[in-house]
Amino acid sequence: ELKTPLTSFSGYLQILSNTVTDEKSQLFLKKTRQQVKKLSSLVSDLLDVSKIEAGKLQLSNESFDIRQVLDNVVELLSHGNHHFHISLETDIDELLITGDPDRIEQVIINLLTNAIRYSPGTNRIIVYLTRDAAEVKVGVRDFGVGIAPEKLKHIFARFYRVDDANPTISGLGIGLYLSHEIIVRHKGRIWVESEPGIGSTLWFTLPSDQ
């Protein structure tokens, strides 16, 4: 019910931008499309929260290459944020694990988007991928605002935001709650290391395929 009107909204905006020719209208349409995209993503996140609460968040269970997922997300976000240099540091070429690739991609997008949003005035992000016999470990490191030690234990809570520290960065405080739920449902762990003014690294693990 929430998504159907947004989908038709996007469709009609697309038709309009194919027909409108003057520059100013094109610009307004572009801005409108960006806002609809943002609203769609907020609605999806809120629907995911409802699904978790109803015990209805379904996860698929398939074999996929986590290195490939990381490459895709790094490429996607580098494309939309030219100013940032996002590098993937790993000596792993291919790493098959079992789980829900779309949901794991959602977690990585969340962590990287946060790394970008909470790092004004910086331009470097490093993504790590390592493994041992038991687990695969992914890290997203930024050099941004960081998080005060007393706030660290709250950041995975639903609707929690460190808003006093970042009054100009908007958000709902559910990205990390969803990421936590997805990782725990995969039998993994997620945690943060951070220092105010220095930056943050968000880590998660997933079980290795045996």
Binding site for ligand ADP (CB under 6 A): 110, 114-115, 118, 142, 144-147, 155, 160-162, 166, 171-177, 200
Distances (CA, A) of 111 to 63, 71, 102, 120: 22, 14, 14, 15
Is 129 or 202 the residue whose CB approaches ligand ADP more closely? 202
Quote the least distance from Cβ 42 to ligand ADP, whole Å.
9
Quote the least distance from Cβ 33 to ligand ADP, whole Å.
21
Is 72 or 166 the residue whose CB approaches ligand ADP more closely? 166
For the four alpha carbons of 164, 169, 171 and 176, in that order, the dihedral sign comes to negative
Is 141 or 186 the residue whose CB approaches ligand ADP more closely? 141
Count of CB atoms within 10 A of residue 186's CB? 22
Residue type, 190: I
Is 173 or 207 the residue whose CB approaches ligand ADP more closely? 173
Quote the least distance from Cβ 107 to ligand ADP, whole Å.
11
* Closest residue by Cα to residue 109 from 147, 81, 149, 143: 81
Is 84 or 160 the residue whose CB approaches ligand ADP more closely? 160
In degrees, rounded to 5, the angle at the alpha carbon of residue 4 between the alpha carbons of residues 57 and 116 is 65
Using CB positions, name the residue nearest to ligand ADP: 171
Quote the least distance from Cβ 158 to ligand ADP, whole Å.
8
* Closest residue by Cα to residue 117 from 61, 173, 63: 173
Quote the least distance from Cβ 191 to ligand ADP, whole Å.
12
Is 2 or 42 the residue whose CB approaches ligand ADP more closely? 42
Quote the least distance from Cβ 148 to ligand ADP, whole Å.
10
